[in-house]
Amino acid sequence: MAKKEYSYFPGCSSVRSASASNYMVSVNTMCEKLEIALNEIPDWNCCGASIGYAEGGELPRHVLNARNIALSGKHNPGQDIVATCAACWLGTRETQERLNEDPDMLTDTRTVLQEGNLQDYYSQNIPVRHMVEVMIEDIGYEGLAKPVVKPLKGIKFAGYVGCQTNRPFGIDGESFENPRYLDKMVEIVGGEAITDYEKKVTCCGGALAFSEPEKSQKQIHDIVEAAYDQGADMIVTPCPVCQMNVEVYQGQINKRYGTNFSMPVTYYSQILAVAYGSTGKEAGLKGNIIRAKALEKIANK
Amino acid sequence: MEKSASKQPPPTTTAEKYRNNFLREVEDNVEEGEWVKMCIQCGVCSGSCPLGSAWEHPPQELFMMIRAGQREQVLRSDSMWMCTSCYNCIVRCPRQLPITHIMHGLANYAHRLGIAPAQNPTRRFAKIFWDNIAHSGRVNELLLSIKLYFMNGFGEGIRMAYHMAGMGFAMFKTGRLDPFGLFMHKGIDNAKELQTMLTKAREIEDRRRGLGLGVAVKAD
């Protein structure tokens, strides 16, 4: 089977030694097993994330994303753009949508892109996709099941989809209130999915975990507590911000709320990588602050 | 370009231009502001917001206040700074208003006019964040965190750093934080080019909005 090729960028949080570096490690491993080739967009820049609007306004924010789209067109022509980070995906897709609706904004963006001779490479119709879409739509659930050699038997997962992989664009055919693809992935790799996990699409606070920690930690507390209530062994998520927020603040939440949380938070790519027979290192499990011991046990088998 | 800039009214007249018509001012200057008049006051947005209880004026109320011409109360409010960008309001709005974007737009407009609440932590964090990415093209996470911890002065910064030390060490141990990143952050190769682009983009946007010509818009 010929490899499927995509033009991709990992986003700031997923580069080496950044907060989601283990996400990228596991994505690379998973893609190798699924025969997906990821061609990195040279010199890609930050998407502006969900907090860029305040100082960045509209046009500067769209220029950030348009530059990535143009660099993709220049270096990886014809290939779909794939982002692994929810915010990168959302930001890039939002820009493309807005520029398609607003001819003045498109003209202004092209004018600005001239500073890098990129104006002719910007594409209004190149698909901008999330890695999850590639997996579900291009590989398909059957295809995702094929490489499984170590089913994740006996592990109970709370599938935490979060916000930005789910809204406002979401995954085709899924509902905003109860998307099911993450549960399906869990089941495909032999795990047990808590399909009625009630905090599945609840916001973790996003960037406000930094600026409004008390309000965000209330959200995170509820997300973790619900996973415990449902008997989950671990949480699994497609978003690097969700992963970080829900994992790293559990210590502070324990102090604030007198709880005793120690709930591992993994990426979908980690559980697939382990089920596909990868080592813990290849699945980025060493990057989990709260160790996902049940996964490590299977990986080490 | 210069010609059209010289035709713009001085910024002090922005309020004059829209006197008694804040809705029009929002429509002209705020991202997706032309949608405000479509709100049917059902309140689904307010009820769907994860930080809803923290908003003095939830989105539905802000929309009505805009139509009622309460310019100062809206733009000086810290309400829209509570938006976590979860997009719940957008997907649930029966009139399909792009509410999240309107909240972002209101925050941005108030910030650029220099009248948003100066001490609001999200406003300050957002400014630090943008400067961070505009400088090197990619987020320097460690520098971002440190600047955030120290934004309320040295003593508070030390307290915050102490508070966060355990978490930081855990991130370092798991390979998710590089202490040398503070000095040797790898941004993009063409950071200068990106800076030029962003400056130019801001000039164009300000010109379209009639901003950026005087002290009135120099915030803080």
Task: Kindly list the domain boundaries of chain B, sorted by start residue.
Answer: 12-117, 123-191
What architecture is the A149-300 domain classified under in CATH? 3-Layer(aba) Sandwich (3.40)
Q: Pick the residue of A210, A221, A281 with the most B CBs within 10 A to test the interface with B by mutation.
A: A210
Instruction: Determine the pLDDT at residue A2.
Output: 61
* Residue labelled with tokens 């109970």: A156
| Cβ contact, residue pair A163, B88, below 8 Å | yes
* Architecture in CATH for domain B12-117: Orthogonal Bundle (1.10)
Tell me the C-alpha to C-alpha distance, in Å, between residue B194 and each of A15, A40, A72, A142, A222. Answer: 19, 19, 16, 43, 40
Q: What is the mean pLDDT of residues A241-266?
A: 97
Instruction: Looking at the complex, report in whole angstroms how far the Cα of residue B166 sits from the nearest Cα belonging to chain A.
Output: 9
Cβ contact B142:B182 at 8 Å: yes
CATH number for domain A4-130, candidates 3.30.420.40, 1.20.1050.140, 1.10.10.10, 3.10.180.10 = 1.20.1050.140
Q: Which residues of B touch A53 (CB under 8 A)?
A: 31, 104-105, 107-108, 126
> In 10 A of CB A145, how many CB atoms?
16
DSSP A137: I
Q: How far is CA B59 from CA A96, A297, B63, in A?
A: 26, 48, 6
Which string of b and e fits B71-94 if b means at least 16 CB within 10 Å?
bebbbebbbbbbbbbbbbbbbbbe
Cα B27 off chain centre by: 17
Per the CB < 8 A criterion, the answer to whether A64 and A9 are in contact is no
What is the rounded average pLDDT of the residues A186-201? 98
Query: Which comes out higher in pLDDT, residue B162 or A245?
Result: A245
pLDDT at B2: 43
CATH 1.20.1050.140 spans which residues of chain A? 4-130
Compute the average pLDDT of residues B94-113: 97
Helices (H), chain B: 2-7, 13-17, 22-29, 44-48, 59-67, 71-75, 88-92, 99-113, 121-136, 141-149, 154-173, 191-209
Q: Of B197, B207, B218, which to mutate for an interface test with A (greatest number of A Cβ within 10 Å)?
A: B197
In the predicted model, what is the mean pLDDT of chain B?
Answer: 89
- Cα B113 to Cα B116: distance, rounded to the nearest angstrom: 8
CA distance A287 to chain B (A): 5
| Size of the A and B interface in Cβ pairs below 8 Å | 208
pLDDT (0 to 100) of residue B217:
40
pLDDT band with cut points at 50, 70 and 90 for residue B18: confident
- Provide the 10 A C-beta neighbour count for residue B10: 11
In this prediction, residue B12 has a pLDDT band, given cuts at 50, 70 and 90, of low
Q: Does the structure show a pLDDT above 50 at B150? A: yes
